[in-house]
Amino acid sequence: MGKHIKFFLEQSWLLLVASVFFGICLAGLNAWWEPKIIANEIKKFNDLAGGLLTEAEKFEPAEVLTIDIGKGKTVDTQVKKAVSGGDVVGWAFIAEGAGFQDKIKLVVAVDKQFNKLRGFGVLSSNETPGFGDKIKTGDFYRNQFIGAPCEEFTLSKVGDDKKIDSEIVAVTGATVTSESVVKILNNFISQVKAQMKEKGYI
């Protein structure tokens, strides 16, 4: 038995020593860089939400809500309140759902009473370059949501994109992506609104 253990150690001591050493290295680096990584994520959220709620000075975590995204699945989303000089000026949260190719993650900003949408920003998406990614790069689609009422959005292929209402004109060549965004927004806004009302925030 002792012989076996000796043989085992002889063969693998380098692997074991290296594992421990590399493990310590990684743990150290992670401890050093992790605050920075988290700060980056918060900064990205704040930049996107701050661009929509321009009057907000900072965003504070308010509530973690569980949202049903269909097919028996749920996600947790953090709702943050936008604060300006001690007053709440709006709410921002991350909404996600399936897009054309991959998951789409949006930052959604609404006003204090959940009456009007202040717009959305794309946190991460992997849509077709040149078509679907216009939800991220172009203003045409996004601008239709700025100031739109927080109710069920509908998608149409022809219509007036300048008129701000709950009717949204799809991006040409990217109907599916446009549909996905509308679906994600409808789903999240209605559920967040209902849950926030229940919790007495509005």
Partner 1 sequence: MDTVTVLLMGFISIMIVNNMVFSKFLGICPYLGVSGRIDMAFGMGCAVTFVITLSGALTWLIDYCVLQHLGLEVMRYVCFILVIAGAVQLVEMYVRKFFPAMYDSFGIFLPLITTNCAILGLCLFINLWGIDNLPEAVVLSIGAGLGFTLAICIMAGIRENLALADVPICLKGAPITLITAGILTLAFMGFAGMIR
Partner 2 sequence: MANATDISISKTFIAGLWEENPVLRLLLGMCPTLAVTAAVKPALTMGCSVIFVLICSNIVVSLMRNLLKPHLRILMFTLTIATFVTIADLFLKAYVPDMSETLGPYIPLIIVNCIIICRAEACASQNGLVVSVIDAIGMGLGFTGTLCVLAGIRELLATGKVFEIVVFAARDPVTNEGWFTPWAAMGMPVGAFVTLGLLLGLVNLITKKQA
- Phi, psi for residue 83 in degrees, rounded to 5: -115, 135
- Phi, psi for residue 62 in degrees, rounded to 5: -115, -50
Can you tell me which of 72, 129, 139, 158 binds partner 2, judged by CB under 8 A?
129
- Which one of partner 1, partner 2, none interacts with residue 202, CB within 5 to 8 A by kind? none
Stretch of 3-11, 48-56, 79-87, 94-102 lying at the interface with partner 1 (CB under 8 A): 94-102
Q: Examine residue 30 and tell whether it contacts partner 1 (CB under 8 A).
A: yes
Strand partners, 79: 63, 93
Rounded to a whole number of angstroms, the minimum distance from the CB of residue 149 to partner 1 is 26
- Which one of partner 1, partner 2, none interacts with residue 158, CB within 5 to 8 A by kind? none
**Residues making up the chain, counted from first to last:** 202
Which residues touch 108 (CB under 8 Å, ≥6 apart)? 92, 93, 94, 95, 117, 120, 185, 188, 189
**Which letter, b or e, does each residue of 75-97 get, where b requires 16 or more Cβ atoms within 10 Å of its Cβ?**
eebebbbbbeeeebbbbbbbbbb
> Which residues in this chain contact partner 1 in the complex, by CB under 8 A?
22-23, 26-27, 30, 71-73, 75, 98-101, 103, 128, 176, 180
Residues contributing to the site for partner 2 (CB under 8 A): 11-12, 14-15, 18-19, 22, 25-26, 29-30, 33, 36-37, 40-41, 44, 124, 128-131
